[in-house]
Amino acid sequence: MIRVNDKFDVEWQEGMTVNSLLTILKFTFPMIIVSVNGRVVPKSEYGPTRVEDNDEVKVIHLIAGG
Amino acid sequence: MSTKDIQEMRQAHEVLAEFDYELGEVEKGYTNRTLYVNLSDNTIASKPVTQQMKDIFTGGKGFGLWLLWNGVTGDTKWNDPENEIVISSGPIGGTTQYPGSGKSLVVSLSPTTHSVIDSNVGGHFGPLLKFAGWDALEIQGKAERDVIVFIDGNAGKVTIEEAPEEAVDTHLIGEQMMEMFAKTDREKRDISTVSAGSGADHTLIGCLNFSWYDVRRKSVRFKQAGRGGIGTVLRDKKIKALVVKYSGRKGVANNPADRKRISKVGSKINKEIRDYDAVQNRMRNVGTPYLVSIMNDYDLLPVYNFRFGSHPEAEKIAGDVWEKRFTQDLPDGCWLGCTMSCSHAVDGYELRTGPYRGQVVIVDGPEYETTAGCGSNCGIFDPDALLEINFYCDTYGIDTISFGTLTAFVMECYEAGILNEEITGGLELSFGNAVAAIELLHQMGRGEGFGLIAGQGIRRVTQIFAQEYGGDPQFMHDIGMEAKGLEYSEYVTKESLAQQGGYGLASKGPQHDEAWLIFMDMVNNQLPTFEDKAEALHYFPMWRTWFGLCGLCKLPWNDIVPPDNAETDEPPKIPEHVQNYVELFSGVTGREVTKEDLITMSETVYNFQRVFNLKMGFGTREHDAIPYRSMGPVTVQEYESRAERYDKQLKELVRDDAEGKTTEEKMAALRAYREEQYEKLIDAVYKRRGWTPNGIPTPETLKRLHIDFPDMVELVRRHIE
Ligand code: SF4
């Protein structure tokens, strides 16, 4: 199980990456900061970066709004 | 329109009053005087701006509130002659070196909230007014017949002129004024108008349109000061248009104290926008409609009167669709020098309905709020229908946000059986019926039928539906998305307690310009405690208020961020941009400030506005109540559509096992919990803001902010004791 932002539980899957995790969560907002176990992952590495079971993931959305 | 027509229109004018004034220079962002116009007795006068006024109220909305406070009493009603419309830009307004520096702030007493309302808007009026010599325009009184007020910033003359022949609807009178007062094509750039439209004559949700001349399109364009019915006040005063003309503006017309300093931060942000907008929010290509698909993905897009937060058809009205419809490759800013250029328009749209059917027009927008409010919230997923609604709302002078939220409410009442075709005069106002929604809008424009009733706003129609058609007041109160008498803007807040407060505690009513905390709260989980939420509901409303004091647009603050923003201490505040604004304010006014000073400036005006609400008979805790639809599911269908989420919350938060309970029982348990949470949030926010448990700023708070004027302290004490 992956807990995101200490709030959302996502079932871990074999081969999970930051990209696939964001897709499951439908986190499509472009201005986000992702960290896995405290390490910030640059946007260009969302595809290759693996997420392991029980990793602590944070996806911080910068506020916006109309 | 022929020159002859325009000449005939002008010849029909009777000049009721004339006022000559000395032209003046702008000094460090201020002209140091305001223009007063009274339409009842046709007086026109200049009023000084004192140093104290600048120190306490800064400008923009601050000046507007101060002038209005002195112009009305606690008994003044929105349609009394004493009510005013005050328009002011602010000390930074008119700057062209930093993006988003041309906003105008409008303040008045609202026909729907009956208290003080403010609305911010683009277009060139505020800056041109300043270059013409005035920090603010204060209009009081009521004309007997339709008038225009013309401010000639080159001749140094202000006139009130009876204008019987001009159109009322904005797309016509905007052009008529431009043709009438520009001697050459080039001079069209030097004119800006404020107008409403025939819908503002017949409803309480009238908006103001502020114009600018689009040089590339060779057409007049408009931005709207939508909220709270100020367009209705304009028409109640029998004003067809306010017109300002000023030729000869230069890049330094705002005469900043230190031009180099503002150019430095200006160059930096302009480069940032050029380099990163394409990979961030794409404001230059799509503008605010980029939010439609995002809100849909996060279950925040209002659907069917805020019942739900997403819809499978949302993509039909999402950013990609508008990107194709908007004319691209035209830098499209609502003030000069705005590199963010998020204004967009659909060119060559042929109207399908109404009095202008067959005309080919430019439709400004639609913005996110219009798309969500008049689209998904009403179950309308047809872009052409939205363009039709957008155009007619603007030209009739009707606020698209109130129209959308109101129509969604009416549609739910229709589907719930409170209304029927007999009552609506044949309009089948069920969700998704774009034809009926458009006809409702035309009825508002014509002042007839059910449009006349609906145009009163949700709070008033709820009473009418209860008294005359037997609607259940409690149900309508739960689903009527208004607070303080103002219709909600277009975000679903059920899962964000902080944003429920952002709406409920907003001074003028539920508009998101004070705070937009949904991601911080609901998604990022950065505000876990009441104190955290209260801190955010202190900082962000104060910060965002500051834009309105200075004549600034907030979009260049947080719809673009520096690439290293993620590594800063407080990414949501965008610290580098806050520092830009410190430089900008100091550079323009010559008054050295810190980022903390900016918050104090806002806190002063914010508390002043809270006490102003008190003066008008509001401004206490009971007026910060919100409808339950904004907190949680009102109907069984709503609960069951997200049953897994709500059942989980009952178990984890309410410690109430949903097992074996009926949906109604679960809804009741969830409701009790959420309503209690909201009250606790209010307690925490009032405490953080230095207010009593009844939401009144304490005398100590007023003293700290140097607004302990005797009448204010007396008013506050009277309510506390
Ligand atoms: S960002 Fe958009 S709304 Fe704001 S000033 Fe620029 S063009 Fe106008």
Q: What is the DSSP string of B193-242?
A: EEE--HHHHH-S-B-EEEEEEETTTTEEEEEEE-TTSHHHHHHHTTEEEE
Query: Crossing angle of helices B595-615/B530-550, nearest 10°?
Result: 90
Q: Which positions in chain B touch A64 (Cβ < 8 Å)?
A: 281, 291, 516, 519, 558-559
Interface test with A, best of B524, B539, B564 (most A CBs within 10 A): B524
Ligand 1 binding site (Cβ under 6 Å of any ligand atom): B 99-100, 122, 333-335, 338, 340-343, 553, 555-556
pLDDT at B2: 80
Residue B334 Cα: closest atom of ligand 1:
8
- E-only strand ranges, B41-146: 43-48, 84-88, 104-109, 116-121, 136-140
The pair of three-digit structure tokens given for residue B108, joined into one six-digit string: 């008045």
Q: Render B366-387 in DSSP notation, one character per residue.
A: --HHHIIIIIGGGT---HHHHH
Q: What is the pLDDT of residues B387-418, one digit of tens each?
A: 999 999 999 999 999 999 999 999 999 999 99
Say what the ipTM of the complex is: 0.95
Residue pairs spanning A and B at CB distance below 8 A: 70
Q: The domain that contains A39 carries what CATH number?
A: 3.10.20.30
Residue B20 is assigned to a structural domain of this protein: yes
pLDDT at B338: 93
Long-range contacts of B43-47 (CB under 8 A, 24+ apart): B43/B17, B44/B17, B44/B18, B44/B19, B44/B158, B44/B160, B45/B19, B46/B21, B47/B138
pTM, two decimals, is 0.96
pLDDT of B491 above 70: yes
Q: Do B519 and A7 touch (CB under 8 A)?
A: no
pLDDT of B87 above 70: yes
Question: Are B480 and B505 within one domain?
Answer: no
Last residue in a domain, options B245, B276, B302: B245
Cis peptide before B355 (omega within 30 of 0): no
Ligand 1 centroid, distance to B555 Cα (angstroms): 7
Q: How many domains, in total, are found in chain A?
A: 1
Q: What is the pLDDT of residues B202-241, one digit of tens each?
A: 999 999 999 999 999 999 999 999 999 999 999 999 999 9
**Closest-approach residue (CA) in chain A for B515:** A65
The answer to whether residues B91 and B59 touch, using CB atoms and an 8 Å cutoff, is yes
Q: What is the pLDDT of residues B535-555, one digit of tens each?
A: 999 999 999 999 999 999 999
Q: How many domains, in total, are found in chain B?
A: 3
Q: Which positions in chain B touch A11 (Cβ < 8 Å)?
A: none
Residue B559 Cα: closest atom of ligand 1:
1
Residue B356 is assigned to a structural domain of this protein: yes
Q: What percent of chain B has pLDDT over 70?
A: 100
Strand partners, B117: B108
CA triplet B575, B578, B580: central angle to 5 degrees?
115
Helix (H) or strand (E) holding B348: strand B345-350
Ligand 1 centroid, distance to B338 Cα (angstroms): 6
Q: Which of residues 1-60 of B touch A (CB under 8 A)?
A: none
Question: Are B293 and B191 within one domain?
Answer: no
How many angstroms away from the CA of B649 is the closest CA of chain A?
Answer: 12
Residue B274 is assigned to a structural domain of this protein: no
Q: Do A66 and B367 touch (CB under 8 A)?
A: yes
pLDDT at B656: 76
Question: Are B437 and B503 within one domain?
Answer: no
Question: Are B197 and B306 within one domain?
Answer: no
* Cα dihedral value B249, B255, B260, B264, nearest 10: -70
Residue B279 is assigned to a structural domain of this protein: no
Residue A61 vs residue B693, higher pLDDT: B693
How many angstroms away from the CA of A27 is the closest CA of chain B?
Answer: 7
B695: left (phi over 0), alpha (psi -120 to 50) or beta: left
Residue A27 is assigned to a structural domain of this protein: yes
Question: Are B533 and B385 within one domain?
Answer: no
How many angstroms away from the CA of A51 is the closest CA of chain B?
Answer: 19
pLDDT at B330: 74
Last residue in a domain, options B465, B487, B509: B487
Residue A39 is assigned to a structural domain of this protein: yes
pLDDT of B456 above 90: yes
Q: What is the pLDDT of residues B324-358, one digit of tens each?
A: 999 877 778 999 999 998 888 999 999 999 999 99
Q: Which domain holds residue A13?
A: 2-61
Ligand 1 centroid, distance to B507 Cα (angstroms): 23
The answer to whether residues A22 and A46 touch, using CB atoms and an 8 Å cutoff, is yes
Q: Which of B367, B558, B567 sits opposite A64 (nearest CB)?
A: B558
The answer to whether residues B334 and B343 touch, using CB atoms and an 8 Å cutoff, is yes
pLDDT at B121: 97
Residue B566 is assigned to a structural domain of this protein: no
Question: Are B190 and B78 within one domain?
Answer: yes
Q: Do A30 and B293 touch (CB under 8 A)?
A: no
Ligand 1 centroid, distance to B102 Cα (angstroms): 8
Pocket residue to mutate for ligand 1, from B97, B270, B341, B368, most atoms within 8 A of Cβ: B341
The answer to whether residues A16 and A50 touch, using CB atoms and an 8 Å cutoff, is yes
Residue A10 is assigned to a structural domain of this protein: yes
What sign has the CA pseudo-torsion A37, A43, A49, A52? positive
Q: What is the pLDDT of residues B684-705, one digit of tens each?
A: 999 999 999 999 999 999 999 9
**Closest-approach residue (CA) in chain B for A62:** B572
Last residue in a domain, options B445, B462, B487: B487
d(CA B377, CA B491): 10
Ligand 1 centroid, distance to B332 Cα (angstroms): 9
What mean pLDDT do residues A38-43 have? 91
Residue B576 is assigned to a structural domain of this protein: no
Instruction: Please name the residue whose Cα sits nearest to atom 5 of ligand 1.
Output: B100
Q: Which domain holds residue B312?
A: 287-325+344-487
Ligand 1 centroid, distance to B89 Cα (angstroms): 14
* Cα dihedral value B423, B425, B431, B437, nearest 10: -130
What mean pLDDT do residues A33-52 have? 94
How many angstroms away from the CA of A5 is the closest CA of chain B?
Answer: 6
pLDDT at B350: 98
Question: Are B158 and B292 within one domain?
Answer: no
Q: The domain that contains B664 carries what CATH number?
A: 1.10.599.10
How many angstroms away from the CA of B565 is the closest CA of chain A?
Answer: 9
pLDDT of B1 above 90: no
Q: Render B551-589 in DSSP notation, one character per residue.
A: T--SHHHHSS--TTGGGSS-GGG-HHHHHHHHHHHHHHH
Residue A20 is assigned to a structural domain of this protein: yes
Pairing between β-strand A2-4 and β-strand A56-61 as defined by DSSP bridges:
parallel
pLDDT at B4: 82
Q: Do B524 and A60 touch (CB under 8 A)?
A: yes
Confidence of residue B568 (pLDDT cuts 50, 70, 90): confident
Question: Are B357 and B446 within one domain?
Answer: yes
pLDDT at B250: 81
Residue B342 Cα: closest atom of ligand 1:
2
Question: Are B523 and B542 within one domain?
Answer: yes
Question: Are B65 and B205 within one domain?
Answer: yes
Q: The domain that contains B473 carries what CATH number?
A: 1.10.569.10
pLDDT at A65: 52
The answer to whether residues B635 and B671 touch, using CB atoms and an 8 Å cutoff, is no
Ligand 1 centroid, distance to B547 Cα (angstroms): 13
The pair of three-digit structure tokens given for residue B269, joined into one six-digit string: 């942000």
Residue B333 is assigned to a structural domain of this protein: no
What mean pLDDT do residues B559-588 have? 92
How many angstroms away from the CA of B403 is the closest CA of chain A?
Answer: 17
When the pLDDT of each residue in chain B is averaged and rounded to a whole number, the result is 96
User: Phi and psi (nearest 5°) for B405?
Assistant: -65, -40
Question: Are B450 and B535 within one domain?
Answer: no
The answer to whether residues B681 and B533 touch, using CB atoms and an 8 Å cutoff, is yes
pLDDT of B657 above 90: no
Residue B248 vs residue B56, higher pLDDT: B56
Residue A66 is assigned to a structural domain of this protein: no
Q: Do A63 and B558 touch (CB under 8 A)?
A: yes
Question: Are B354 and B409 within one domain?
Answer: yes
Residue B635 is assigned to a structural domain of this protein: yes
Q: Which of residues 479-518 of B touch A (CB under 8 A)?
A: 489-491, 512, 516-518
